[in-house]
């Protein structure tokens, strides 16, 4: 039996394939049920704002009959008065049944989980982890492809700073026969420590060419201007790694295009009409996945 | 032990032997030996050793090394032995051993890690690999490998 009650969700590293699959299976069965977590209070501590993530947790708990306390932005909180994160957690846990935390420092969520006696979910700790996004990505992949193992998955764009692709790549090491194609400009390649973790566990290749042939999944990320010292270089790269109708002609009809959103111009609006475009479904899937995690942590099953 | 090292036999103190060749200065740094250090210190580098080929040796008079420092030494000299000497005799023999977790010993190099914030959380690393040491921060999950660890002690 997997033990879920009272557990924390801090990093995708903490989860086995079996556990990931049980979250996916649970998410598939979730539907609005105002009795399931009735009376439960979720503390939503957003030390930096992230409206979508916060909305998605709020929606998830409210569809299960629970309610939310919390704040967004550190100005409004006791942090502005100089309270430590540890003290904030020790106080908040007296009011709530579960804590969702987003914080600009890496490792903050782990610290919160170490301090708290109630479950803590990491909704993003700096550049480190955002596990509920990864669970959502995996759920979406499974939903449209009916499986995860054996898939050919392309990751496109900023693979150096993109937290979502790091976590997703790590999660994919739990599944067998994955083929990963890492498509990025040379200065935004997947970091070497992560490549080391992929070695011998899955097959990966790196390329600068926008080659989408044969892929089951195309996971697109935003390339940010700040990553380039030279504006000309940025403009060149920005034009190269773009999904439009033409580049999408390479895609298999059964392929799935994903993007953690928000997008800027890396996916042309015309692509939204294609049957492969699933990034808005991906957003929607964040709700049942978070409902599943909340239920598992608070009910144990 | 070699003939020439016998000369410097100490009455009370510590002998750190089997230090990986070249690492004695680092061990001295860990022990806080610098200008103004009041006791007799003997350092030998690149001494022939049957056990590990070449080794460094450090002897400190009237100094006894707490376990916390022995853990630090384990990071830079994983095969070292730490002998406590009392009245010319070995009173305690310790083999350094890198524990599976290090608390408040190595600083996290990630400036954006919670352990480097005003929060004042002691650092916490898990040892991922012992041979050519590799550590992972319990908090930010960042890796520290090889020689860069030495600068974080």
Phi, psi of A66 (to 5 degrees): -90, 180
Does any domain span residue A2?
A: no
**In a shared domain, residues A294 and A270:** no
Residue B49 has a pLDDT of 87
Q: Could you give the CA distance from residue B85 to residue B89 in angstroms, rounded to a whole number?
A: 5
Instruction: Identify all chain A residues contacting B119, using CB atoms and an 8 Å cutoff.
Output: 84-86, 105, 111
Average pLDDT over residues A274-289: 97
**In a shared domain, residues A165 and A145:** yes
pLDDT band at B57 (very low <50, low <70, confident <90, very high): very high
pLDDT band at A76 (very low <50, low <70, confident <90, very high): low
| Residue A42, domain extent | 12-129+283-299
**In a shared domain, residues A105 and A190:** no
Residue B46 has a pLDDT of 94
Instruction: Identify all chain A residues contacting B141, using CB atoms and an 8 Å cutoff.
Output: 11, 13, 106-107, 128-129
**A107, A126, A127 member nearest B115 (Cβ):** A107
Question: Taking 80 as the threshold, does the pLDDT of residue A1 lie above it?
Answer: no
Residue A114 has a pLDDT of 98
| Strand bridging mode B101-103 / A120-125 | unpaired
Average pLDDT over residues B133-153: 91
Instruction: Identify all chain A residues contacting B148, using CB atoms and an 8 Å cutoff.
Output: none
**In a shared domain, residues A189 and A203:** yes
pLDDT band at B50 (very low <50, low <70, confident <90, very high): confident
Does any domain span residue A6?
A: no
Question: Taking 90 as the threshold, does the pLDDT of residue B7 lie above it?
Answer: no
Does the distance separating the beta carbons of B138 and A108 come in below 8 Å?
no
Q: Could you give the CA distance from residue A66 to residue B76 in angstroms, rounded to a whole number?
A: 52
Query: Which residue, among A249, A128, A247, A235, has the nearest Cα to A183 in the 3D structure?
Result: A247
Does any domain span residue A43?
A: yes
**B118, B140, B143 member nearest A106 (Cβ):** B140
**In a shared domain, residues A145 and A120:** no
Query: Which residue, among B150, B145, B140, B142, has the nearest Cα to B129 in the 3D structure?
Result: B145
- Copy the structure tokens of residue A250: 């390479």
Give this prediction's pTM. Answer: 0.91
Does any domain span residue A4?
A: no
Does any domain span residue A1?
A: no
Average pLDDT over residues A278-283: 96
The pLDDT tens digits of the residues spanning B69-127 come to: 999 999 999 899 999 999 999 999 999 988 999 999 999 999 999 999 999 999 999 99
Average pLDDT over residues B118-139: 93
**In a shared domain, residues A118 and A165:** no
Contact B123, B137 (CB under 8 A): yes
Does the distance separating the beta carbons of A105 and B113 come in below 8 Å?
yes
Q: Could you give the CA distance from residue A26 to residue A21 in angstroms, rounded to a whole number?
A: 8
Instruction: Identify all chain B residues contacting A86, using CB atoms and an 8 Å cutoff.
Output: 119, 121
A171-175, A211-215, B149-153: lowest mean pLDDT where?
B149-153
Does the distance separating the beta carbons of A13 and B138 come in below 8 Å?
no
**ipTM, two decimals:** 0.92
What is the number of domains present in chain A?
2
The pLDDT tens digits of the residues spanning A110-160 come to: 999 999 999 999 999 999 999 999 999 999 999 999 999 999 999 999 999
Average pLDDT over residues B31-42: 93
Does the distance separating the beta carbons of A85 and B114 come in below 8 Å?
yes
**In a shared domain, residues A110 and A49:** yes
Instruction: Identify all chain A residues contacting B117, using CB atoms and an 8 Å cutoff.
Output: 105
Q: Taking CA atoms, what residue in B is nearest to A109?
A: B139
**In a shared domain, residues A290 and A227:** no
Residue B5 has a pLDDT of 52
**In a shared domain, residues A271 and A140:** yes
The CATH code of the domain that includes A238 is: 3.40.50.1370
């Amino acid at each position: 039996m997997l033990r879920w009650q009272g557990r924390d969700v801090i990093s995708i590293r903490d989860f086995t394939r079996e556990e990931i699959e049980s979250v996916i299976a649970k998410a598939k069965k979730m539907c609005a049920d105002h009795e399931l977590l009735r009376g439960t209070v979720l503390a939503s501590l957003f030390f930096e704002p992230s409206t979508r993530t916060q909305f998605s947790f709020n929606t998830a708990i409210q569809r299960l009959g629970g309610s939310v306390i919390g704040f967004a932005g550190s100005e409004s909180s006791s942090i502005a008065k100089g309270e430590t994160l540890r003290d904030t957690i020790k106080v908040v846990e007296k009011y709530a049944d579960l804590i969702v935390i987003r914080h600009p420092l890496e490792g903050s969520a782990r610290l919160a989980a170490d301090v708290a006696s109630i479950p803590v979910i990491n909704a993003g700790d700096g550049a480190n982890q955002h596990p509920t996004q990864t669970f959502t990505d995996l759920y979406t992949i499974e939903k449209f492809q009916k499986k995860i193992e054996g898939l050919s998955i392309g990751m496109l764009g900023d693979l150096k700073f993109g937290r979502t692709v790091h976590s997703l790549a790590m999660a994919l090491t739990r599944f067998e026969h994955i083929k990963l194609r890492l498509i990025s400009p040379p200065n935004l390649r997947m970091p070497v420590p992560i490549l080391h973790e992929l070695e011998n566990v899955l097959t990966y290749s790196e390329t600068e060419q926008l080659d989408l042939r044969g892929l089951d999944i195309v996971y697109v990320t935003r390339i940010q201007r700040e990553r380039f010292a030279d504006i000309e270089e940025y403009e060149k790269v920005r034009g190269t790694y773009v999904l439009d109708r033409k580049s999408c002609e390479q895609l298999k009809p059964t392929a799935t295009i994903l993007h953690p959103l928000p997008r800027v111009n890396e996916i042309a609006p015309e692509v939204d009409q294609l049957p492969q475009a699933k990034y808005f479904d991906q957003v929607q899937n964040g709700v049942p996945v978070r409902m599943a995690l909340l239920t598992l942590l608070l009910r144990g099953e | 032990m070699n003939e020439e090292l016998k000369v410097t036999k100490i009455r009370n103190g510590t002998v750190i032997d089997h230090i990986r060749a070249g690492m004695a200065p680092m061990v001295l740094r860990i022990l806080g030996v610098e200008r103004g250090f009041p006791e007799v210190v003997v350092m030998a580098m690149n001494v022939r050793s049957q056990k590990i080929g070449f080794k460094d040796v450090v002897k400190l008079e009237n100094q006894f090394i707490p376990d916390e420092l022995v853990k630090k030494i384990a990071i830079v000299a994983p095969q070292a032995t730490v002998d406590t000497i009392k009245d010319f005799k070995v009173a305690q023999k310790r083999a350094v051993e890198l524990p599976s977790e290090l608390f408040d010993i190595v600083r996290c190099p990630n400036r954006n890690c919670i352990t480097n914030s005003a929060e004042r959380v002691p650092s916490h690393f898990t040892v991922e690999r012992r041979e050519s040491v590799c550590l992972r921060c319990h908090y930010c999950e960042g890796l520290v490998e090889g020689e860069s660890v030495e600068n974080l002690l």
